[in-house]
């Protein structure tokens, strides 16, 4: 890694070369305020605008929406994220996160207040260099004065569905642009914990797990209150094994298998040791897109679809953070922009009682894709079907994966009592938690369950876990009566021995809870998933308000409605993104080929 000392070298190279353009004055620490934004801090080290920015001509400094040159310069001086993480002695460093590789400028800014991106979901008290500043931006070029770009396929949203569609279409020979409005790629998929449901897979066979397409269909339909589109559910189940094979073929490890709520059999595929699926597959998808040199643009928000006057979608209007508004024309557009759990206004429009509830989602999950699709003629369905996940760590946005319950944890209220079948569907489990004193409960487990699932380590790191060397100590940490807690665990352990949960009818009792230490995480329900969205058919074509597919317009993932009915089963989301992302990519590709 180049040390900070090497800034001096750059400083010598750039000494005196202050920005030439009238629009960019040299940062001035006094003008920029007392909080010393990064530009001013760099100026103190004799690094000027040109030290960070590319100068394209004498008039102005042009920064692309990916902020490529600025970020390359950060790395040149400070080292890579991995190198910086290694230098940090504390156990938690924002330079090493489950979000993987990202731009330095996702958090750090020269001209406005720097913000820790992680604090969108966590509440870390991490001081970050930088402050506020008022520095003039280069005015964006008006849309009509710049050349219209052309490509084969535009994919909107760089989560798992978007990456999958983009890679599939690229591999079939299409030129693809993948647009992401957030400063980082990955979307909610990067946060996904539990796993990917799939049936009749080679991994299941190897472990002797008996499962079938029909049982996965039955579970999914039952979980969704039979409100799901059966044709889409059949596709989800039938193609799930080949989606696992596809992910494996591009470098993913999803060979471990667990169970999630509402599933009859073990079919939730995840990385070895039970690590979180989302961070892993996002890393794999990003790498595959990068290896193929797919044009991925962050900070690029789609404002609307372009239509040819006869109802065919032929492009998009984009607003780049730096490049301003511009148009891209394409032969097909795939919408994969996710759901709206992080949009309190939209949530309130459909389910007013959920307003004010925490969400497990990343801040970009605001439903723009659905609204843009609707403006483009698409039909929205099931928008009222909003899923509450029963176990979000109390007072936070951190999802405690259902896999913790799948691996044996139980739910205990603050009176020390068990109150529900922990593996019932999310809607029922959430209602049960909300009905407990204080509207919260504790996930209780022991050291054997802890060791069975890698993801639990992260909850310790984040300080979310209470512990006791004995049950009495744990009860004290929870503020629950020790005798009732001991009684509840005794009853549960006897049910485990008898392989029958007479109290709540939990079918899968994988482990007893009796090996110290004992642990508890306080949880509350939070908004997790929006089942509704753009209506699609089996080819992932978006259905218009007139009931017919809209030519040139495809959609996949959480932005669509129909697969999950009234309630999604855990593990079916990543499964949907990969299977329908592949279908959308393949069909968009066909549209390109047919247009030639
Ligand atoms: C979880 O791990 O509990 C969430 C995964 C999902 O929603 O599919």
Share of the chain above pLDDT 90, in %: 73
Residue 89 — very low, low, confident or very high, per pLDDT cuts 50/70/90? low
Distance, in Å, from the CA atom of 224 to the CA atom of 229, rounded to the nearest integer, reads 10
Distance between Cα 231 and ligand 1 center (Å): 23
Distance between Cα 472 and ligand 1 center (Å): 31
pLDDT digits 0-9 by tens, 239-253: 999 999 999 999 999
Counting ligand 1 atoms within 8 A of each CB, the residue from 190, 223, 386, 403 with the most, and so the one to mutate, is 403
Say which of 270, 426, 568, 582 is annotated catalytic: 426
Clarify whether 582 is annotated catalytic. Answer: no
Distance between Cα 399 and ligand 1 center (Å): 8
Distance, in Å, from the CA atom of 208 to the CA atom of 414, rounded to the nearest integer, reads 39
Distance, in Å, from the CA atom of 173 to the CA atom of 203, rounded to the nearest integer, reads 31
Q: Is the peptide bond before 78 cis (omega within 30 degrees of 0)?
A: no
CB 255 within 8 A of CB 209: no
Counting ligand 1 atoms within 8 A of each CB, the residue from 388, 399, 406, 564 with the most, and so the one to mutate, is 399
What burial class does residue 46 get, using C-beta atoms within 10 Å of its C-beta: 0-12 exposed, 13-18 middle, 19+ buried? middle
pLDDT at 135 (0 to 100): 44
Q: Hey, how many other C-beta atoms are within 10 angstroms of the C-beta on 580?
A: 28
Tell how far CA 274 is from the center of its chain: 18
Distance between Cα 199 and ligand 1 center (Å): 17
pLDDT at 69 (0 to 100): 82
What's the mean per-residue pLDDT of the chain?
Answer: 89
pLDDT digits 0-9 by tens, 183-220: 999 999 999 988 999 999 999 999 999 999 999 999 99
pLDDT digits 0-9 by tens, 436-479: 999 999 999 999 999 999 999 999 999 999 999 999 999 999 99
Give me the helices (H) in 273-401, please: 277-291, 344-350, 368-375
Distance, in Å, from the CA atom of 191 to the CA atom of 99, rounded to the nearest integer, reads 8
Distance between Cα 429 and ligand 1 center (Å): 14
pLDDT digits 0-9 by tens, 258-297: 999 899 999 999 999 988 999 999 999 999 999 999 999 9
Residue 428 — very low, low, confident or very high, per pLDDT cuts 50/70/90? very high
Residue with the nearest Cα to atom 5 of ligand 1?
194
Q: Are strands 268-270 and 196-197 parallel, antiparallel or unpaired?
A: antiparallel
Counting ligand 1 atoms within 8 A of each CB, the residue from 187, 188, 191, 194 with the most, and so the one to mutate, is 194
Residue-wise burial string across 145-160, b where 16 or more C-beta atoms lie within 10 A, e elsewhere: eeeeeebbbbbbbbbb
Name the packing angle between helices 213-223 and 230-238 (round to 10°).
140
Distance, in Å, from the CA atom of 253 to the CA atom of 270, rounded to the nearest integer, reads 7
Q: Which atom of ligand 1 is nearest to the CA of 573?
A: 8
Residues in contact with ligand 1 (CB, 6 Å cut-off): 192-194, 399, 401-403, 570-571, 573
Residue with the nearest Cα to atom 6 of ligand 1?
570
CB 125 within 8 A of CB 546: no
pLDDT at 450 (0 to 100): 98
Residue 28 — very low, low, confident or very high, per pLDDT cuts 50/70/90? very low
The residue assigned the tokens 């993932």 is 557
Distance, in Å, from the CA atom of 253 to the CA atom of 421, rounded to the nearest integer, reads 31
342: Cβ contacts below 8 Å, ≥ 6 apart: 359, 361, 362, 363, 364, 365, 366, 527
- Extract the tokens encoding 92: 């938690």
pLDDT digits 0-9 by tens, 528-556: 999 999 999 999 999 999 999 999 999 99
pLDDT at 143 (0 to 100): 53
Distance between Cα 359 and ligand 1 center (Å): 13
pLDDT digits 0-9 by tens, 350-362: 999 999 999 999 9
Distance, in Å, from the CA atom of 385 to the CA atom of 411, rounded to the nearest integer, reads 25
| Cβ-defined contacts of 535-539 (< 8 Å, 24+) | 535/378, 535/379, 535/380, 535/381, 535/560, 535/561, 535/562, 536/232, 536/560, 536/562, 536/580, 537/231, 538/231, 538/232, 538/235, 538/583, 539/583, 539/587
CB 574 within 8 A of CB 277: yes
The residue assigned the tokens 């459909």 is 350
DSSP state of 559: G
Residue 308 — very low, low, confident or very high, per pLDDT cuts 50/70/90? very high
pLDDT at 54 (0 to 100): 62
**Of 498 and 107, the one with more pLDDT:** 498
């Amino acid at each position: 890694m180049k040390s900070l000392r090497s800034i001096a070298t750059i400083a010598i190279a750039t000494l005196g070369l202050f920005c030439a353009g009238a629009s960019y004055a040299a940062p001035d620490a006094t003008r920029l305020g007392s909080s010393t934004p990064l530009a001013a801090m760099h100026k103190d080290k004799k690094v000027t605008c040109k030290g960070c920015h590319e100068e394209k001509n004498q008039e102005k400094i042009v920064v692309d929406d990916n902020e490529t040159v600025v970020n390359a310069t950060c790395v040149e001086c400070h080292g890579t994220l991995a190198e910086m993480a290694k230098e940090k002695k504390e156990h938690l460093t924002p330079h090493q996160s489950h979000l993987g590789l990202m731009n330095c400028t996702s958090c750090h800014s020269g001209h406005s207040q720097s913000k820790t991106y992680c604090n969108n979901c966590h509440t870390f008290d991490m001081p970050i260099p930088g402050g506020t500043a008022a520095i003039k931006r280069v005015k964006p070029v008006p849309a009509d004065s710049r050349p219209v770009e052309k490509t084969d396929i535009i994919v909107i949203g760089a989560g798992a569905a978007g990456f999958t569609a983009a890679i599939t279409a690229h591999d079939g020979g299409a030129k693809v642009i993948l647009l992401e409005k957030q400063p980082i790629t990955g979307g909610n998929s990067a946060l996904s914990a539990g796993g990917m449901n799939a049936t009749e897979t080679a991994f299941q066979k190897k472990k002797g797990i008996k499962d079938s397409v029909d049982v996965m269909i039955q579970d999914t339909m039952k979980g969704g209150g039979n409100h799901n589109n059966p044709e889409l559910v059949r596709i989800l189940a039938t193609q799930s094994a080949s989606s696992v094979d596809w992910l494996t073929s591009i470098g993913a490890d999803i060979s471990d298998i667990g169970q999630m709520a509402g599933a009859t059999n073990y079919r939730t595929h995840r990385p070895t040791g039970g690590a979180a699926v989302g961070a892993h597959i996002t890393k794999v998808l990003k790498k595959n897109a990068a290896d193929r040199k797919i044009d991925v643009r962050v900070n690029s928000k789609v404002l609307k679809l372009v239509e040819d006057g006869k109802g065919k979608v032929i492009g998009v209007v984009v607003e780049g953070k730096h490049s301003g508004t511009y148009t891209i024309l394409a032969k097909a557009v795939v919408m994969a922009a996710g759901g709206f759990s992080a949009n309190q206004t939209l949530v309130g429009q459909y389910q007013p009682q959920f307003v004010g509830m925490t969400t497990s989602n990343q801040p970009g999950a605001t439903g723009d894709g659905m609204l843009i699709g609707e403006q483009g003629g698409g039909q929205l369905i099931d928008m009222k079907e909003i899923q509450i996940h029963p176990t979000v760590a109390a007072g936070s946005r951190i999802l405690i994966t259902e896999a913790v319950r799948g691996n044996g944890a139980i739910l205990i209220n603050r009176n020390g009592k068990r109150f529900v079948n922990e593996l019932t569907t999310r809607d029922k489990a959430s209602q049960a938690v909300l009905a407990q004193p204080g509207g919260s409960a504790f996930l209780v487990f022991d050291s054997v369950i802890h060791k069975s699932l890698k993801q639990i380590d992260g909850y310790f790191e984040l300080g979310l876990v209470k512990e006791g060397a004995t049950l009495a100590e744990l009860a004290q940490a929870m503020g629950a009566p020790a005798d009732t807690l001991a009684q509840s665990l005794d009853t549960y352990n006897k049910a485990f021995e008898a392989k029958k949960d007479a109290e709540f009818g939990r079918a899968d009792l994988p482990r007893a809870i009796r090996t110290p230490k004992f642990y508890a995480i306080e949880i509350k329900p939070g908004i997790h998933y929006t089942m509704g969205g753009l209506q699609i058919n089996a080819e992932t074509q978006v259905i218009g308000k007139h009931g017919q597919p809209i030519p040139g317009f495809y959609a996949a993932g959480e932005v669509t409605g129909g697969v999950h009915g009234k309630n999604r089963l855990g593990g079916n989301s990543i499964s949907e993104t990969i299977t329908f992302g592949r279908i959308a990519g393949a069909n968009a590709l066909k549209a390109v080929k047919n247009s030639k």
